[in-house]
Amino acid sequence: MSGPVGVLIMAHGTPARPEDIEPFYTRIRRGRPPTPEQLADLERRYAAIGGLSPLTRRTQAQVDAVRAELAQRAPGRYQVAYGAKHTDPLIEEAATSLVGAGVDEVIGLVLTPHGSSMGSEEYLTRAEAALAGTCPFIAAPPWYTEPDLVSLLAERVTGAMASLTTGRDPGRYPVIFTAHSLPERIREIGDSYPEQLQESAELVAAAAGLGRWQVAWQSAGRTPEPWLGPDIRDVVRQLAGVEGSAGVDGVVVCPIGFVTDHLEVLYDLDVELAAVAAEVGLAFRRTVSLNDDPRFIRVLADVIGAAGARRN
């Protein structure tokens, strides 16, 4: 390949203005408009974190930083574009823009460490379909085992733990690793997402030297079907009831499945879960989000480089 390499960075997307919330929610629901009650609930949650999610701004900062990092590593080699699953610019639009820029191939990277048939694979499938017949597409695989990512998350965990347990027994402050829940039916098709999360947590727990930790799920959809559990809120309530030497005084939560501050972190954890912890008398800390930390940006650049190297 002699021409430039396209890099398509993909993320969920979020409303840019209050009036965009309803069409955004409708799109997430695959064209089914939310009920007035559902819309009011989402607007209430956005209002609780300042009116809108900072996801778009945070993601754009990540994309810009990756572009700069790749340009430093290989000047002129990469063309970087951003595409969202549910908002403009959509994945298809971004993919087409790279073809218009004259790239010879496109590397697709989803801004979530773990892969699932109902998550990152949908992004990659859409990108590949948009590029069909124009240029080769290279999908970066799940990247949760990247050693530098594991080290970075372990530092986040130990930092949160230290801020909570100064002068106290750390054994009474378990760490809970979370990711976005998905419908239980993914297990029926052999989706390895739950196993990936478990392995991811094991790697970070080992790097942080944790003695007491577990995995839980958060932000399940409001549908009648069962979703992956246990739910983080239930776990915190159960831990509060543990007595004796195994008792718990507080919890550290590491949202290992998310890479930015957004609604599922700033509301579901910092507001809703924090209220649950306070209700049951437990101290609460959340690890600092990765956002555009330069060390995290280098991880993403490494993943992109490795994907291109495997192709060539």
Q: Give the HSE-up count for residue 29: Cα atoms under 13 Å, Cβ half-sphere.
A: 16
Q: May I ask the CATH architecture of the domain 147-286?
A: 3-Layer(aba) Sandwich (3.40)
At 34, list the tokens.
């939310």
- pLDDT band at 3; cut points 50, 70, 90: confident
Q: Answer left, alpha or beta for residue 102, where phi above 0 means left and psi between -120 and 50 means alpha.
A: left
Q: Answer left, alpha or beta for residue 110, where phi above 0 means left and psi between -120 and 50 means alpha.
A: beta
Tell me, what's the pLDDT at 312?
Answer: 59
Residues 66-93 have pLDDT tens digits of 999 999 999 999 999 999 999 999 999 9
Confidence check: pLDDT of 127 > 50? yes
**Domain-wise residue ranges, the chain:** 5-143+292-311, 147-286
Tell me, what's the pLDDT at 172?
Answer: 95
Tell me, what's the pLDDT at 100?
Answer: 96
> Per-residue pLDDT averaged across 259-263, rounded?
98
Confidence check: pLDDT of 97 > 60? yes
Tell me, what's the pLDDT at 30?
Answer: 86
Whose tokens are 């979703």? That residue is 227
- pLDDT band at 244; cut points 50, 70, 90: confident
Tell me, what's the pLDDT at 243?
Answer: 84
29 or 264, which is more confident? 264
User: Comparing 5-143+292-311 with 147-286, is the CATH topology the same?
Assistant: yes
> Per-residue pLDDT averaged across 141-153, rounded?
98
Tell me, what's the pLDDT at 1?
Answer: 47
> Per-residue pLDDT averaged across 13-30, rounded?
92
Confidence check: pLDDT of 254 > 70? yes
Residues 6 or more apart whose CB falls under 8 angstroms from that of 48 comprise: 267, 271
Model-level pTM? 0.96
Tell me, what's the pLDDT at 223?
Answer: 85
Question: What DSSP string runs through the chain?
Answer: --SPEEEEEEE----SSGGGHHHHHHHHTTT-PPPHHHHHHHHHHHHHTTSS-SHHHHHHHHHHHHHHHHHHHSTTTEEEEEEESSSSSBHHHHHHHHHHTT-SEEEEEESSSS--TTTHHHHHHHHHHHHTTTS-EEEPPP-TT-HHHHHHHHHHHHHHHHHHHTTS-GGGS-EEEEEE--BGGGGGGT--HHHHHHHHHHHHHHHHT-SSEEEEEE---SSSS-BSS-BHHHHHHHHHT--GGG--SEEEEE-TT--S-SHHHHTIIIIIIHHHHHHTT-EEEEPPP-TT-HHHHHHHHHHHHHHHHHH-
Residues 6 or more apart whose CB falls under 8 angstroms from that of 201 comprise: 177, 213, 214, 215, 256
Percent of the chain past pLDDT 70, that is, above it, reads 99
Confidence check: pLDDT of 117 > 90? yes
Average pLDDT score over the chain: 95
Residues 158-208 have pLDDT tens digits of 999 999 988 899 999 999 999 999 999 999 999 999 999 999 999 999 999
Tell me, what's the pLDDT at 167?
Answer: 86
Tell me, what's the pLDDT at 246?
Answer: 84
Q: Which CATH number does 5-143+292-311 carry?
A: 3.40.50.1400
Whose tokens are 């695959």? That residue is 30
